[in-house]
Chain A
């Protein structure tokens, strides 16, 4: 029973243990030392830990930064504070010691939060972590706190895919460890793992409703710590195998004034990175090879081109035969010169350039956040309560979201031996609509903009989609609506088909720590991540009847996650030897998740304007309700042992055993260990002759993690049932279920060094790691001739090996001015070693099934191979082979590898200049290498929207004679050779340069879409001014006051993609990265912020 439900206790770590240890005194002359601890700027620092070295006594600074402590006259005081360099000061019998603490640029002495929330000095750790302050996250003002890490953390790849604010951000630490499972790290909020399901993983199409990390309010975050790789996260078990992001919320602190703080930010989001298109030629199709012209109506008026294909096109052959099934966005028509033509609705309008028609759907968006917090503290502890209101208006029409967050954080000293830690966040989130991404549905403007609307498109529908009587305009004009490859009612649907998404979420944890003895404490914690999600869809009727077209559906899901923990920690200084400190901990955790959802819908309506399941004319038109279940439990016991010698040698070992409900009963128990060692030569040896070397640490670690099956219900042999002929059918599963599934494993090795030079003005941290993931629980592909498409077995092997480098430099620092800069670099190779015996290729995603390119993983290659149809190359010359007419390239029979999306490296460069209260910060980040199938680029070529399609049309081509006998300099020779190796020398019409040889859907040559996707971006530029405390207090209102302005995602300094294709517009946040199609334009933002304390 104990393990199942009850009190589980946890330590607040050796740091706090030390803080409150009883004094192990021995009699010497003692004095009382008092003083003030301030920052470099002269502001008092509250809550600085002041310890008497080797005595075990300590205190903290008060609201004015003052402290008072009794110590030996010849003792040493240790001052430590999060974000500042630890300062050791010999007392030398002084009664007053004021201390100015130096900000810790490299955070070598930083106290960081590690696994299970235990705070430790970063210098001790044998593995790599990075920490970020909550203020940084607020300043970045990104749509979610993870996005703020982009370019700031080595080895953390943050991918903002296609979409708008509120969508899913993919982030991966040190590459993919799962061939086909989740690869995003575990997010832990105040010790409670957050279920962060990705909103949209499908690369082809869909609506992205975002993931739960979007709901975490940056204003409530004290710090965010990244534990990279399995070594650091060994104690989080299965779910931490991809690394862990620890978020610690604010718990309040003593402060001057009335303890109220107000933050406000207002962000303006501007879509700006639109495709670069030509504005010279308008709608028109390759119906013949003469100069493009309009057809005329019986009155002689030129008519807007509406004939898309022709069965007797060039050479008497159908246009589809020569050019494939191109779209209605084709812009191969006449020059747009303002000539009056009869538009598709019968009106005469000028055929004129529409340089802004890609912007029709977009406008500036905004996000406003108000955060009010109450914070205070005293002997009983600290408490903080805050309320945050966020309102967002999207860059697309009729889409918005808002969120109200109430947060409560407290550290209570219930008695001298019992402390409580409380963290509660209640989130109420509402979102109205989210745009369709990628492909085809009734609100897919991305498709319309790219694939359906030519350069002459005026967007008339925006104003005429509703008739005066309120019904939908069905565009029933003579000759028909010309844009056949996009639903004609996009604008109507955008405003009348509404989905409201509501999420109510409670993340809460309460822990109690009992200091049983000075060297022993017990902590218990209960926590929950409780979520209610509701999607309500209402499609308005399309006519006066109030019935036709009306639709209603509702989906309600609840997700209850419970985490119960206990931890017992014993600590001993002078263990065996007076230089040895030791602590041992033993703990347990029970994780359980219980998810259930129901969805129903109305049928063909019987009653007007009634949005209810009961509104149906015919029972048979009502879909059956569907349900979803997910239930899982993991029980765990773990222990860890820390040993240090002389403050320069640190050993940490951990061991954990999990029991998971998703594995077979005989294999559901699995143990995994870790060990890490760090050594600080600069502490161990006298290296004073190397006065330039201020700090040096070497470290190494090994860890193994075991991972269960991600989802439940995978081990039973079940039959899917249906009906045929009025009786039941039972089908074997599509995947052969496992016989004896066992946990998958990853062995992780890490070594690194940290060097501080010139009094830590230059700090360098280098890490090399190697991770081998094996025994993957994988749906390994088999031929269907085996009876199924896949077999679920333990197989497959992945390797990640890489280096991470972090360099921080303080260039100038004096009393008024400082200039700091930092670089980070990460290179990871994510090699697929094996997919199982006999399996070499596993397709993980595609856009249009077998009718387009796909992403696969292939044994022996880096993760993320892009496959598609390629040129056939001549054996000798390597040139692509053309047909005898010189019009078409030959392409491979089947899809073959044509690229790989995995980048060569990622990196970031930060710079910070401070002058008095001003701080100017910049961030430049980069992704170097890795291919992208840029679908928007090839469609731009195929449809004649791209500027690349202009030269021949502008008479810069080769002499060419049209079928009607006219001549022009519009011909082209396609580079390549004939099958016999002879170079092509045939001048052909410029249509053949692009239309028949590029494209998307169908069996087209995919290779022209493969482009290296390298970019360098000015990610962030911010200016902050903080009034000095003295100046702020002169107002008699404020205790602190600061203002900031931040530009985010400002522009690309360098990109290899042509035509302004969005380098960060790849579809989907799943493992398959590298396919782009109809991406939205990139957007930048500018934020204005105010922070005031009262």
Chain B
């Protein structure tokens, strides 16, 4: 019997040593998601991440940036929980950066199987995307983890990356954009020197749908934007870039080529924008921007000379144009009402009796399908060129060229915003839009006419400021770069950057502490590198 026991035991042991794990790999195979993917879907994820987050809009834009820049007025104290917004921006960026670096890793792998040149276009597209996303975030926070960041999937030693200086990041990205300009091949179906076809993102390029010409323009436009952004701090480096672009007439975004994220074309719904205003409730037109649009304070709007006033804002519940004072005194009545609630889809005129100041135009923040989110406009390029020519940044000063650029840019801006109205399917109370060359009437209005005024740079900044109405982060950058030369009333707030989100200090404590000790404090009072 002892033999029986031993035999049974032995069988059991032998069996389990061989087949106790039979089928385990199959059993534990994830049934929900694929384990393989290509660079195309990964790239599409990065493009999709260009959309603004709900909390970024709520806690950064509406709570802070409109107020700081005076693009609008926050008529009551807000939720004051800015970290919800900064966390979202941070997470969105670094999640995307992880994808970018994964695609870069795959490029290296792919190089071993093909001519490196075949990857030029996709490399350039990725570099341009990375530059855009990175510039946005470093402009908000300053120094940040970058070179070692987003690499946790590839190297567990890098899950807590060090911080890099904004200067290093800027210069690296500008070099990357230069590489893109020099290597991008915009012809249809390009081939390498040996005749091999270029790798293409094909259907996964949902920003320019495979048109490399636009990618090239986007890349150069970004170079111009950010070279000028750092020109006060490092003019020699910046001027080289500006000169290269302007003197060589490198392709830039032109009229009608504005870069946007379009819900209608990209098959998504921008539900966040209405939520942001519906929940926040207290955003109104401020006197600062009102005075850029109207010759006087007539409540009937008779002083309005810029149609964008009626695109950006609307009248209060009483049908009057009523800005909230940018510098309110304690007796300033506060604003209430319900101008952003969705009942206005059916009852447009009901804004609430307490809505005594002009709100944002309901349709601008309601149309989830046709109002785009803006990345770059042709108007902005015009203003950047105008500034460069006026100030002689990288090129010889030339006021005439600057004036022309400015005038065209204002017209482009007006046309752009009018097209927004035209593109909306629900905008039923639109103002009478300007047609044809009527758009130049805004630029030619005596208040805006650059030809007749001496404060030309101020006009350029003002119009760039207006054009960035739905890009308050850009207005914020302009304000800081120009040291407060954007339109404002009263004193500007000492707000130059956002503190890092708490999760970074909690989960990356050593690097965060190193960074903050170098900065002195992690506060909004610390200037980012490119500020004067």
B19 and A724 within 8 A (CB): no
A784 and B90 within 8 A (CB): yes
B161 and A785 within 8 A (CB): yes
If A719-B33, A785-B150 touch, whether A724 touches B159 (CB-CB below 8 Å) is no
B30 and A716 within 8 A (CB): yes
Chain B CB within 10 A, most for which of A1, A632, A669, A713: A713
Name the distance in Å between B320's Cβ and chain A's nearest Cβ.
17
List residues of chain A with CB within 8 A of the CB of B150: 785-787
Chain B CB within 10 A, most for which of A1, A570, A782: A782
B42 and A730 within 8 A (CB): yes
B237 at the interface (CB under 8 A from A): no
B101 and A787 within 8 A (CB): yes
B504 and A724 within 8 A (CB): no
B172 at the interface (CB under 8 A from A): no
Chain A CB within 10 A, most for which of B22, B158, B265, B335: B22
Q: Which residues of B21-45 are within 8 A (CB) of A?
A: 21-25, 27-38, 40-42, 44-45
List residues of chain A with CB within 8 A of the CB of B330: 315-317
B303 at the interface (CB under 8 A from A): no
Q: Which residues of B273-288 are within 8 A (CB) of A?
A: 282
Q: Give the number of A-B contacts (CB < 8 Å).
A: 268
B28 and A715 within 8 A (CB): yes
Name the distance in Å between B46's Cβ and chain A's nearest Cβ.
9
Q: Which residue of A lies closest to B97 (CB)?
A: A787
B506 and A840 within 8 A (CB): yes
Name the distance in Å between B282's Cβ and chain A's nearest Cβ.
8
Chain B CB within 10 A, most for which of A586, A661, A787: A787
In the complex, A793 Cα to B152 Cα: how many Å?
Answer: 13
Name the distance in Å between B445's Cβ and chain A's nearest Cβ.
34
List residues of chain A with CB within 8 A of the CB of B145: 783, 785
A724 and B507 within 8 A (CB): no
- Contact partner, B16, options A3, A781, A838, A850, Cβ 8 Å: A3
Name the distance in Å between B233's Cβ and chain A's nearest Cβ.
24
In the complex, A310 Cα to B334 Cα: how many Å?
Answer: 8
A1029 at the interface (CB under 8 A from B): no
- Contact partner, B5, options A317, A520, A722, A788, Cβ 8 Å: A520
- Contact partner, B206, options A725, A791, A1003, Cβ 8 Å: A725
List residues of chain A with CB within 8 A of the CB of B15: 1-3
- Contact partner, B153, options A637, A657, A788, A841, Cβ 8 Å: A788
If A635-B21, A659-B20, A850-B87 touch, whether A731 touches B151 (CB-CB below 8 Å) is no
A787 and B153 within 8 A (CB): yes
List residues of chain B with CB within 8 A of the CB of A729: 41, 44-45, 48
A632 and B1 within 8 A (CB): no
In the complex, A725 Cα to B12 Cα: how many Å?
Answer: 56
A35 at the interface (CB under 8 A from B): no
In the complex, A819 Cα to B348 Cα: how many Å?
Answer: 79
List residues of chain B with CB within 8 A of the CB of A631: 27-28
A786 and B149 within 8 A (CB): yes
A2 and B11 within 8 A (CB): yes
Chain A CB within 10 A, most for which of B11, B45, B48, B203: B45
B20 and A732 within 8 A (CB): no
In the complex, A731 Cα to B102 Cα: how many Å?
Answer: 11
In the complex, A964 Cα to B37 Cα: how many Å?
Answer: 71
Name the distance in Å between A474's Cβ and chain B's nearest Cβ.
13
Name the distance in Å between B511's Cβ and chain A's nearest Cβ.
8
In the complex, A588 Cα to B11 Cα: how many Å?
Answer: 12
List residues of chain B with CB within 8 A of the CB of A736: 152-153, 156, 159
- Contact partner, B508, options A586, A632, A785, A793, Cβ 8 Å: A785
B428 at the interface (CB under 8 A from A): no
Chain A 666-685, CB-CB to B under 8 Å as 1, else 0, gives 00110000000000000000
Interface residue count on the A side (C-beta < 8 Å): 80
If A516-B1, A588-B16, A787-B95 touch, whether A661 touches B28 (CB-CB below 8 Å) is yes
A732 and B153 within 8 A (CB): yes
B509 at the interface (CB under 8 A from A): yes
B267 at the interface (CB under 8 A from A): yes
In the complex, A894 Cα to B84 Cα: how many Å?
Answer: 11
A785 and B90 within 8 A (CB): yes
Chain A 308-341, CB-CB to B under 8 Å as 1, else 0, gives 0111100111101100010000000000000000
- Contact partner, B79, options A633, A720, A1002, Cβ 8 Å: A1002
Q: Which residues of A809-859 are within 8 A (CB) of B?
A: 838-841, 849-851
Q: Which residue of B lies closest to A709 (CB)?
A: B28
A718 and B94 within 8 A (CB): no
B81 at the interface (CB under 8 A from A): yes
A687 at the interface (CB under 8 A from B): no
- Contact partner, B45, options A629, A632, A724, A838, Cβ 8 Å: A724
In the complex, A725 Cα to B510 Cα: how many Å?
Answer: 40
In the complex, A252 Cα to B345 Cα: how many Å?
Answer: 71
Q: Which residues of B62-91 are within 8 A (CB) of A?
A: 75-77, 79-81, 83-84, 87, 90-91
List residues of chain B with CB within 8 A of the CB of A793: 156
A1035 at the interface (CB under 8 A from B): no
If A785-B504, A850-B81 touch, whether A637 touches B12 (CB-CB below 8 Å) is yes
A298 at the interface (CB under 8 A from B): no
List residues of chain A with CB within 8 A of the CB of B156: 736, 739, 791, 793
A838 and B510 within 8 A (CB): yes
List residues of chain A with CB within 8 A of the CB of B509: 838, 840
B160 at the interface (CB under 8 A from A): yes
A1003 and B80 within 8 A (CB): yes
Name the distance in Å between A409's Cβ and chain B's nearest Cβ.
29
In the complex, A577 Cα to B153 Cα: how many Å?
Answer: 62
A25 at the interface (CB under 8 A from B): no
A965 at the interface (CB under 8 A from B): no
Name the distance in Å between B311's Cβ and chain A's nearest Cβ.
26
A723 at the interface (CB under 8 A from B): yes
Q: Which residue of A lies closest to B99 (CB)?
A: A732
Name the distance in Å between B358's Cβ and chain A's nearest Cβ.
15
List residues of chain B with CB within 8 A of the CB of A318: 75-77, 282, 334
A568 at the interface (CB under 8 A from B): yes
- Contact partner, B160, options A312, A315, A726, A786, Cβ 8 Å: A786
List residues of chain A with CB within 8 A of the CB of B101: 787
If A2-B12, A635-B16, A784-B503 touch, whether A719 touches B41 (CB-CB below 8 Å) is yes
If A784-B94, A1002-B79, A1002-B81 touch, whether A728 touches B44 (CB-CB below 8 Å) is yes
Chain A CB within 10 A, most for which of B25, B31, B38, B159: B159
In the complex, A840 Cα to B512 Cα: how many Å?
Answer: 14
Chain A 509-526, CB-CB to B under 8 Å as 1, else 0, gives 000000011001000000
In the complex, A1003 Cα to B78 Cα: how many Å?
Answer: 11
In the complex, A263 Cα to B34 Cα: how many Å?
Answer: 55
A311 and B336 within 8 A (CB): yes
A415 at the interface (CB under 8 A from B): no
A464 at the interface (CB under 8 A from B): no
B98 at the interface (CB under 8 A from A): yes
In the complex, A730 Cα to B11 Cα: how many Å?
Answer: 47
Name the distance in Å between B521's Cβ and chain A's nearest Cβ.
11
If A635-B20, A725-B206, A726-B203 touch, whether A716 touches B35 (CB-CB below 8 Å) is yes
List residues of chain A with CB within 8 A of the CB of B60: none
List residues of chain A with CB within 8 A of the CB of B331: 316
Q: Which residue of A lies closest to B150 (CB)?
A: A787
A662 and B41 within 8 A (CB): no
In the complex, A335 Cα to B204 Cα: how many Å?
Answer: 66
Can you report 13 residue pairs joining A to B where beta carbons are below 8 Å apart? A3-B19, A586-B5, A629-B32, A633-B24, A659-B16, A661-B27, A669-B21, A730-B41, A736-B153, A736-B156, A785-B508, A786-B161, A788-B95
10 more CB-based (< 8 A) A-B contacts, given A325-B79, A517-B1, A736-B153: A316-B331, A633-B27, A661-B28, A729-B45, A732-B99, A782-B159, A783-B159, A787-B153, A851-B81, A1003-B81
Residues of B bordering A, CB below 8 Å: 1, 4-5, 8-9, 11-13, 15-16, 19-25, 27-38, 40-42, 44-45, 47-48, 75-77, 79-81, 83-84, 87, 90-91, 94-95, 97-99, 101-102, 144-145, 149-153, 156, 158-161, 203-204, 206, 265-268, 282, 330-336, 354, 502-504, 506-510
